[in-house]
Amino acid sequence: MVSCIFCNMQPPIFENDLALAFFDKNPVSKGHVLLVPKRHAKDYFKLTSEEKLALDDLLGLCKGYLDNLYKPDAYNIGANCGLEAGQTVFHCHIHLIPRYAGDMANPTGGVRGVIPEKQNYKD
């Protein structure tokens, strides 16, 4: 797809036969990485098992790289699948977002923060 930003990104920081990893052009934090399959697939649920494994391999490589480069305290990993989930580029991509102590007042609930009133909960 000529119009897809992820189908035309170069150069990756890591790649394997089926996937690529890039620094996000609009990072949430220092070291924010996007992992994408080389094949244009709409979202995570359209990937083959092999593509999922390839992305997982790159996820591990990127984490090790970011651990050494930026020394984050934690990570969020996520994918938006569908318009209502916030997906804006319809080529599957997984966010690896380094987190740093103090980068937000209360990180409790992590990815649950996509719906702010559901982020903090009690058992």
* Tens digit of each residue's pLDDT (9 = 90 or more) over 36-77: 999 999 999 999 999 999 999 999 999 999 999 999 999 999
pTM recorded for the entire structure? 0.93
Any idea which of 39-48, 54-63, 93-102, 108-117 has the lowest mean pLDDT? 108-117
Say how far apart CA 9 and CA 31 lie, in whole Å. 17
Classified as helix, coil or strand, 15 is strand
Find the catalytic residue in 32, 91, 93, 95. 93
21-30, 59-68, 106-115: least confidently modelled range:
106-115
Q: Residue 111 and residue 78: Cα distance in Å, rounded?
A: 8
Task: Report, as an integer, the average pLDDT of 15-19.
Answer: 97
Q: Between 37 and 117, whose confidence is greater?
A: 37
91 counts as catalytic: no
Query: Is the pLDDT at 6 greater than 60, yes or no?
Result: yes
User: Measured between alpha carbons, how far is 82 from 76 in angstroms, rounded to an integer?
Assistant: 19
> Hey, is 120 helix, strand or coil?
coil
Delineate the domains of the chain, giving CATH numbers in brackets: 6-102 (3.30.428.10)
Distance CA 112, CA 97 (A): 15
Question: Measured between alpha carbons, how far is residue 2 from residues 6, 7, 20, 83, 111 in Å?
Answer: 10, 7, 17, 21, 32
